[in-house]
Amino acid sequence: MSIAPISGLRSAPRILMVAPRWPCVGLLAEGLAREGCEVHRLLDLRGVFAPSDPGAQRRLFSWPDRRFSSTTRIASVFDRSFFDVIDGLVRSRGIDIVLPVLEPALYEMWKRPEAPWAPLVRPHIEPWQQTLLLSKWSMSEAARGWGVDIPRQYSATDPEAVQAAVADLGLPVVVKDVVGGGGTRVVICSTLAEVTAAISHLEATSHPDSEQPPMLQEYVPGTTYLAFGLFDEGRAVRLYAGAKNGL
């Protein structure tokens, strides 16, 4: 597919992706590079997880770095040096767009609206939109109000609410944090004991900015499809979609 030009930028924009080593990141970078973008990567080592399948693990960690013009590694987006590294890369590489692929990186960058690179961060959206992206619960309820058919869901406010939710939704049921974590904070539970354990874990490791409890959502069987994209003022610059294969 051809892509729309990014407004106000050079013909070959320089993009800094803040991302783990995931296949979807490589595919997105490959597509952007084919369209003339110069793609640099800040590799979040905390976001690199280890799949249980050894074959999948080999494929994941052997994903080639040649799709990126450069790679800089950082222990975590929560590391104290994170913002200093961003500052240095934006200046030294002449970055036009900063693209955080993981939600935690995006949330951390939103905390620095006064930073010189803040206007470069995508998505660059209004505060009310940020509020929706900071909460899966709020986003789902907003989507319901827009007429989108979403799975039934309950907030895990207390043990009684959890039991009532499981009784209504049945098992298996999906337990997830309201703050996104690249798919790492979603659990499909088959028993009430698993539900309770999942909620306890999410509460104990919740994002410091989260003010909402975990949520329970109706389990919908079948293939899960993921969609990724880079947009400029509502126009699609690059789109990627595919079936989730367990990685």
What pLDDT score does 244 carry?
77
User: 81-90, 138-147, 149-158, 234-243 — which is least confidently predicted?
Assistant: 234-243
What pLDDT score does 10 carry?
59
- Select the highest-mean-pLDDT range: 21-25, 118-122, 184-188, 216-220: 216-220
Q: pLDDT tens across 192-235, in order?
A: 999 999 999 999 888 776 778 999 999 999 998 888 777 777 78
What pLDDT score does 246 carry?
56
What pLDDT score does 56 carry?
45
Q: pLDDT tens across 130-146, in order?
A: 888 888 999 999 999 99
Domains in the chain, CATH or no CATH each: 14-124 (3.40.50.20), 136-218 (3.30.1490.20)
CA distance 183 to 166: 22
Q: What b/e readout covers 67-96, taking b as 16+ CB neighbours within 10 angstroms?
A: bbeeebebeebeeeebbebbeebbeebebb
Q: How confident is the model at residue 247 (pLDDT cuts 50, 70, 90)?
A: very low
Q: What b/e readout covers 148-172, taking b as 16+ CB neighbours within 10 angstroms?
A: eeeeebbebeeeeebeebbeebeeb
What pLDDT score does 165 carry?
97
Output the CA torsion sign for 121, 118, 184, 198. Answer: negative
Q: pLDDT tens across 27-69, in order?
A: 888 888 888 899 999 987 765 433 444 444 444 444 556 678 8
The torsion of the CA quartet 78, 84, 90, 96, rounded to 10 degrees, works out to: 40
Q: How confident is the model at residue 182 (pLDDT cuts 50, 70, 90)?
A: low
| Arithmetic mean of pLDDT, 79-85 | 90
Residue with tokens 């200046």: 91
